[in-house]
């Protein structure tokens, strides 16, 4: 070997070694939140539509092909220890599953049912109809997503429009509450194409709606009883819901969300707008971190799946003048299929079910069941983004490096919104570039007061933090992006 080649080879080895060290020093999502994948039974098509945990620690899930499966040892450290048993079949594309008083309640296309194994042979043998309050036409878009039971014992069901565009059967495009006695309470109108439903720590219910007609982008919406949530196609059924009051006025085409919220008293704008093709394209399941720290530093926040991008986003919510708003943060990519249901298990981990049937997904498998756990290490992240009269308070999971965090050049901010229109989706419009006038670091290094000139009501505020580093390791943020949906600015 010639001397020049020896030097070049040594240099390449040195550079490769440095790259390896740097890769080890800069952690990835998997260092903090490892993803465990279950090996599903062979020759079965298990497109998971909903998941719940039973009192004895067994996990139950339903499939889009109408089966219920039970999983023993689902929360074992090794997912290969899980044991799968089919418990029921013959259901009609169920997308809701909840346990109560010895029954499994299932939300199907045409009804809420409850099932029980009365002779303890490991198979459901008693099927009862709890409610069949809504209509179906046979259109394949008429999905129904069901919640867990609320504090009053009610199931919340969100009903997709016919063809995700019109309402050809009663209550298509509505949210209904189903009481334990089977009574039906019409709760909200204005739904288009839901992807999941779940409650926050306060017990308030939210659902995800997908980009489409009257939905400029996918969104997280608060199911506040009596409210209209945006798509008017199902409002023809107000005559069947006298407790909801009069039918709201139709929104003006090609308007803006915040303008129509002022004009239509019943209209409640989305709590979170998910920027299309930036954090996903098809928002789905919702899980609230009620683990009090078992799942890391984000206690009380929501985790929202995306089916198309096979990922989970994190959502921080705050209530300003009675209205929910807040920030969305990227959280974890790399799931095997298209994420649909997401729940938090009793040990704090997240159980996630997937399917790409008919929709496609970044995750290449046709279906999957996976579990996301916390490694015990704290990632360097923006934990909370809170609105203030003068800008935002950024609360971090770890102390920031004071020099980089106090430099306004470490940040970049832009805003935009979407057209509230009868057409499908919307581009980003009405863009502005607010000025970051100052960044003030707290004594403990955990909070930065970001002074902003030019906050915009009704806009997503997309914040980049490329220059901010952690105090101890000098790490960049694991996810240097945040997206705050702004409806209200506090007075003080």
Which structural domain, as residue segments, surrounds residue 436? 382-485
Output the domain CATH number for residue 468. 2.60.40.1220
Q: Are residues 188 and 57 in the same domain?
A: yes
pLDDT class of 26 with cuts at 50, 70, 90: confident
Q: Are residues 323 and 420 in the same domain?
A: no
Task: Give the three-state DSSP class for 7.
Answer: helix
Q: Is 358 a domain residue?
A: yes
Mean pLDDT, residues 25-39: 95
32's tokens: 């903090």
Q: Is 123 a domain residue?
A: yes
Q: Is 176 a domain residue?
A: yes
b/e code 109-133 from CB counts within 10 Å (16+ = b): bebbbbbebeeeeeebeeeeebbeb
Q: Looking at residue 19, what is its pLDDT?
A: 34
Q: Are residues 318 and 433 in the same domain?
A: no
pLDDT class of 487 with cuts at 50, 70, 90: very high
Q: How many domains does the chain have?
A: 2
pLDDT digits (tens, 9 = 90+) for 420-477: 999 999 999 999 999 999 999 999 999 999 999 999 999 999 999 999 999 999 999 9
Burial of 164 (0-12, 13-18, 19+ CB in 10 A): buried
Q: Are residues 353 and 481 in the same domain?
A: no
Q: Is 90 a domain residue?
A: yes
Q: What is the mean pLDDT of the chain?
A: 95
Q: Are residues 120 and 258 in the same domain?
A: yes
Output the domain CATH number for residue 82. 2.120.10.30
pTM for this structure? 0.95
- Which residue has better confidence, 21 or 159? 159
pLDDT digits (tens, 9 = 90+) for 392-423: 999 999 999 999 999 999 999 999 999 999 99
Q: Looking at residue 6, what is its pLDDT?
A: 36
Q: Looking at residue 144, what is its pLDDT?
A: 98
Q: Are residues 343 and 415 in the same domain?
A: no
Pairing between β-strand 174-178 and β-strand 155-159 as defined by DSSP bridges: antiparallel
432's tokens: 């502005």
Q: Are residues 361 and 435 in the same domain?
A: no
pLDDT digits (tens, 9 = 90+) for 254-301: 999 999 999 999 999 999 999 999 999 999 999 999 999 999 999 999
Q: Are residues 343 and 393 in the same domain?
A: no
Calculate the dihedral angle through the C-alpha atoms of 260, 265, 266, 271, rounding to the nearest 10 degrees. Answer: 60
Q: Are residues 101 and 190 in the same domain?
A: yes
Q: Is 22 a domain residue?
A: no
């Amino acid at each position: 070997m010639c001397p020049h080649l020896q030097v070049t080879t040594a240099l390449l080895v040195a550079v490769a070694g440095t790259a390896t060290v740097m890769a080890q020093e800069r952690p990835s999502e998997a260092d903090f939140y490892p993803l465990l994948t279950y090996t599903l039974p062979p020759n079965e098509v298990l497109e998971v539509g909903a998941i719940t945990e039973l009192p004895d620690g067994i996990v139950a899930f339903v499939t889009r092909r109408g089966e219920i499966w039970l999983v023993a040892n689902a929360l074992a450290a090794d997912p290969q220890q899980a044991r799968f048993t089919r418990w029921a079949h013959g259901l009609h594309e169920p997308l809701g599953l909840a346990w109560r008083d010895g029954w499994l309640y299932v939300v199907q296309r045409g009804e809420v049912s409850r099932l029980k194994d009365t002779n303890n042979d490991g198979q459901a043998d008693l099927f009862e109809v709890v409610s069949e309050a809504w209509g179906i036409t046979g259109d394949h878009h008429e999905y129904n997503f069901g919640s867990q039971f609320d504090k009053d014992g009610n199931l919340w069901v969100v009903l997709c429009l016919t063809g995700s565009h019109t309402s050809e059967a009663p209550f298509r495009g509505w949210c209904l509450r189903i009481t334990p006695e089977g009574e039906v309470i019409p709760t909200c109108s204005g739904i288009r194409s839901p992807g999941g439903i779940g409650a926050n720590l306060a017990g308030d219910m939210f659902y995800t709606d997908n980009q489409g007609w009257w939905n400029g982008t996918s969104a997280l919406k608060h199911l506040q009883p009596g409210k209209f949530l945006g798509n008017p196609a199902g409002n023809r059924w107000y005559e069947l819901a006298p407790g909801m009051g009069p039918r709201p006025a139709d929104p003006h085409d090609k308007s803006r969300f915040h303008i129509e919220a002022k004009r239509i008293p019943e209209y409640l704008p989305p709590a979170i707008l998910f920027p299309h093709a930036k954090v996903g394209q098809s928002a789905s399941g919702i899980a609230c971190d009620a683990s009090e720290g078992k799942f890391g530093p984000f206690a009380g926040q929501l985790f929202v799946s995306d089916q198309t991008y096979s990922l989970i986003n994190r959502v921080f919510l705050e209530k300003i003048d009675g209205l929910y708003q807040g920030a969305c943060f990227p959280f974890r990519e790399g799931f095997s299929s298209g994420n649909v249901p997401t729940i938090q298990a009793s040990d704090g981990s997240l159980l996630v079910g997937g399917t790409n049937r008919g929709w496609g997904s970044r995750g290449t498998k046709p279906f999957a069941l996976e579990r996301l756990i916390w490694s015990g290490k704290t990632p360097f992240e923006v934990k909370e983004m809170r609105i203030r009269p003068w800008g935002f308070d950024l609360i971090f999971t770890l102390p920031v490096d004071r020099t980089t965090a106090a430099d306004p050049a470490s940040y970049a901010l832009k805003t935009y919104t979407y057209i509230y229109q009868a057409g499908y989706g919307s581009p980003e419009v009405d863009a502005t570039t607010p000025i970051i006038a100052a960044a003030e670091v707290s004594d403990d290094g955990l909070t930065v007061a970001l002074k902003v000139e030019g906050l915009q009501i009704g806009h997503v505020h997309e914040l980049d933090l490329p220059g901010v580093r952690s105090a101890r390791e000098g790490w960049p943020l694991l996810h240097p992006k945040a997206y705050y949906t702004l409806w209200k600015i506090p007075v003080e």
